[in-house]
Structures are given as C-alpha cells and as structure tokens.
Amino acid sequence: MTDILSWNIQNGRGLDGEVSLTRIADVIATMGEPDVICLQEVSRGLWLTPKAGAPDQVAELADLFPAHEIVFGVAVDAGSPVAQNRWQFGNALLSRLPLLSLQSHPLPRPGAGGMRHMTRQATEVVVATAAGELRIVNLHLEYHSPAQRLAQVERLRALQLEALEQRRQPSEVDSDGPYQFVPRPVESVYCGDFNMVIGSREHRRLGDPLEGEPQPFRDAWELAHPHIPHAPTCGVFDRVQWPEGPHCRDFFFVNGRCVDAVKNLRVDTETDASDHQPLLLELADDPG
C-alpha cells in the first residue's frame, strides 16, 4: 500500500489564529503514516503573526518528519522592503520512499487586471514504490482568476503529455553526466489545492483524454466513492474566508495503473488546524 496525503495547511494557521506546524503534524499522525506528504502554503521568512514571526517552515517540517526527505517547491521568492529580508512561499513535499527525480514547474500567470493573483508552482517527483515508479505532482492553482486557473490546468495536461511523448520517443542517454537516464513514468498522481469546484470547466478539462494516453486522469474520489458526493475540503469551519460554506476544492487525480489501484480516499473533516481539510489517498500495490 502507498499512502499519499495532501493538505493546504495555510502556513499552519488554525481557526484559532495560532500558527502551529506541530499541530499539523499531530493531525497527520491521526490519519496514519503517509509515505508521501504533499503540503501547500508553506513559507520561509514570510511574516505570519506577531507571535509566529517569519519562521523557516521547511526546516520545522524536516524536524517534525525525520523519516521523510523534504523537497520545497518555491512559487514566490522575493525580497520584503518592510522586513528587509527575502521570503519564499510554495509547496512542500515529504517522502519516506526513495526520491528518484525532481522537477519544479512554474505555472502560467496570464494577465488578469483588477484582481489579486500570485505566482503558482507545481512540484513533480518520482518515487520508488512496491508497485514500481510513481510520479507525484504537488500543486496549488490560482484562486481569484478563472482564466489563470484554466491556463494552469492546461499546463498540467502538457506535463502529462510530455511524459507520454518521452515514453513513446525515448531519448539517447549517457551512462553518467547530465544526459544520463532520469525516470519519468506516465503513471502519476496529481494532488493539491486546485481551487476549482466540481463540475467546473477546469475540473472537466483535466479529465479530457490526451493523445496516446491509455487511461485519462480520473478524480480519485469518484473512483473510491462512486455515487457519493465529494467530502468538503474547505469552508467546514472557516466561514469568513469561505462564506459559501463547506465545499470541495482539493483533489487527487490519478491515471494509468493508479486508476485501478485506488483503494480509498479519506478526508478529515474534524480538524480546524487550517482552513482546508487533509486528504489521504490509499493506493494498492497490486490492483488485481
């Protein structure tokens, strides 16, 4: 079994306003022992609260999960004229499975005047599982701009198309050096805060088939719980940021052999340690 957790942790800020990554780690422990942990909204040097200051949350997470190797996908890296320091904001991925490769993908940010928006990023890793190599993409899409969000979905589709083309047309490789073979399997899991709602244009578009793809992306909740509405992943407790109430914006999408490997997808709707809820995907090593 391979367990993958995804959670937008809002820099560890809970409904009580307190910032605590220890609390985040405690909640994750209640869900099991995930092999891979994909977190969104993690920062270094970003001013959070007077009490929390501007912590290095990547270092804190590394200390809290010593059995995992941590990768930080930086979406924003900038200097603060107020605090006179550099700060970073992005996605953290922690894995206790061997990390075979890593890529960082900036996501499109076409013009969207008159609204707030920020640079977004997707972190791609390949891990070794009992069932073989698996590509995992940890992502956080734009909230305010639907046009940017759709462009980012198209980029995610392009990443998958690249993997398909590289399988169909393998490159010439060297035994060592920068041109040596680097694994990039087609079988993949894309997860995170997609900031899209069920049935939206972006949600439908992600599932459209790609040329030469034997098994297009599928929403893992629909595979694990057919005919049952998605569990809410935000707005459960925080009605200030989410006045529309409980609904789903966080997803797992799977393709290839992972479609048949989905055993379960659980959402913890009891914790208020963030404005989002954590999700845990269970993949069987032997789908048969």
What is the pLDDT at residue 140?
A: 98
Look-up of token digits 């979406």: 75
pLDDT tens figures, 150-163: 999 999 999 999 99
| pLDDT, mean of residues 269-276 | 96
What's the mean pLDDT when you consider all of the chain? 93
Q: What is the 3-state secondary structure (H, E, C) of 23-86?
A: HHHHHHHHCCCCCEEEEEEEEECCCCECCCECCEHHHHHHHHCCCCEEEEEEEEEEEECCCCEE
Domains identified in the chain and CATH numbers: 2-170+180-283 (3.60.10.10)
Quote the percentage of the chain above a pLDDT of 70. Answer: 98
Whole-prediction pTM value? 0.94
| pLDDT, mean of residues 219-225 | 96
Task: Choose between 58 and 167: higher pLDDT.
Answer: 58
| pLDDT, mean of residues 10-27 | 96
| pLDDT, mean of residues 105-122 | 89
**pLDDT for 82 beyond 70:** no
Task: List the beta bridge partners of residue 282.
Answer: 3, 264
Residue 70 — very low, low, confident or very high, per pLDDT cuts 50/70/90?
Answer: very high
Residue 175 — very low, low, confident or very high, per pLDDT cuts 50/70/90?
Answer: confident
Task: Choose between 171 and 136: higher pLDDT.
Answer: 136
Residue 235 — very low, low, confident or very high, per pLDDT cuts 50/70/90?
Answer: very high
**pLDDT for 214 beyond 80:** no
How far apart (Å, rounded) are the C-alpha atoms in residues 185 and 221?
A: 23
Alpha carbon distances (Å) from 43 to 65, 275, 276: 17, 16, 17
Q: CB within 8 A of 177, min separation 6: which ones?
A: none
**pLDDT for 38 beyond 90:** yes
Contact call for residues 125 and 93 (beta carbons, < 8 A): yes
What is the pLDDT at residue 288?
A: 56
Query: What is the pairing mode between strands 85-95 and 69-80?
Result: antiparallel
Tokens at residue 144, please?
A: 């305010």
